[in-house]
Amino acid sequence: MIIENTVEGVKRQVKAWKSEGLSIGLVPTMGYLHEGHKSLIDRAVSENDRVVVSVFVNPIQFAPTEDLESYPRDFDADCRLCEDAKASLVFHPDADEMYDGDFSTFVDMDNVTKELCGKSRPTHFRGVCTVVNKLFNIAMPDRAYFGQKDAQQLAVIRRMVRDLNMNVEIVGCPIIREADGLAKSSRNTYLSDEERKAALVLSKAIFKGKEMLESGISDGEEVLEQMKEIILSSPLAKIDYVEMVKWDSIEIHHTVDCPVLVAIAVYIGRTRLIDNFIFEV
């Protein structure tokens, strides 16, 4: 497995692979990899000749009050997981490599970024779209793999690729959960033992909402109220949002007459966690 820190180094290697007619998969990550990330790499390895995993904590998707400096990092462990999963190359640039001192070009998106995480983190998706665009230009993948846990991000990237006519297939992969149901996340490491137990209200609310829709309930507001009650049963939980939106456009939509995304963001103590499910009519 190759470890590369420079843009030009990755481009040079990708060009060599392309000259051999090999297909390339890309798994963009911010590191501190877990089984959820490994499931993306496994899928990419199964569908491509070579797989690039980026490990980069992207500073421009963090607001000044967010956890950029404290975001968990363990590059040695990340490399072990990537090698075990048979990734071909790990791209691990520093911020200066990705953003020159006079960097001034960003990718903005309207509509799809206005609700859910985009509403409470208004600068977030500008940073996500910009860095993913750069990674596509650097790694030139045939396919790129994103987890459904960040469902709005998946929808945003798909829209960016469609709108800008990018020549890459976006592959969404299922949420990977702990044995007790909690969605795997690098931020789970922030939780104390008490908070870890309290965090289960997220997955309990998600499972309840899904169960209600599968039983035939089509009133989205009724579903969301039941989910909120479950979340607020924990005194450690503070709701950022509990919402239902159209899956393709991320527009608020409380009638289940089309594919919908039911998504939640909840603070457990000081840690913001997200979870969701997609319901196809």
Burial 50-59 (b: 16+ CB within 10 A, else e): bbbbbbbbbe
Helix (H) or strand (E) holding 214, with range, is helix 200-214
Of 107, 121, 233, 203, the residue nearest 160 (C-alpha): 107
Residue 40's pLDDT is 98
Residue 35's pLDDT is 97
Residue with tokens 């987890």: 147
What's the CA gap between 235 and 222, in Å, rounded?
22
167-185 pLDDT, tens digit per residue, is: 999 999 999 999 999 999 9
**Helical ranges in 7-123 per DSSP H:** 7-19, 35-47, 75-84, 95-98, 117-120
Q: For the chain, which residues score pLDDT lower than 50?
A: none
Residue 187's pLDDT is 97
Residue 121's pLDDT is 95
37: annotated active-site residue: yes
Phi, psi (deg, nearest 5) at residue 138: -80, -50
DSSP 121: S
Residue 28's pLDDT is 98
Of 18, 257, 235, the residue nearest 138 (C-alpha): 18
Active-site annotation holder among 37, 92, 124, 253: 37
Cα radius of gyration (the chain): 19
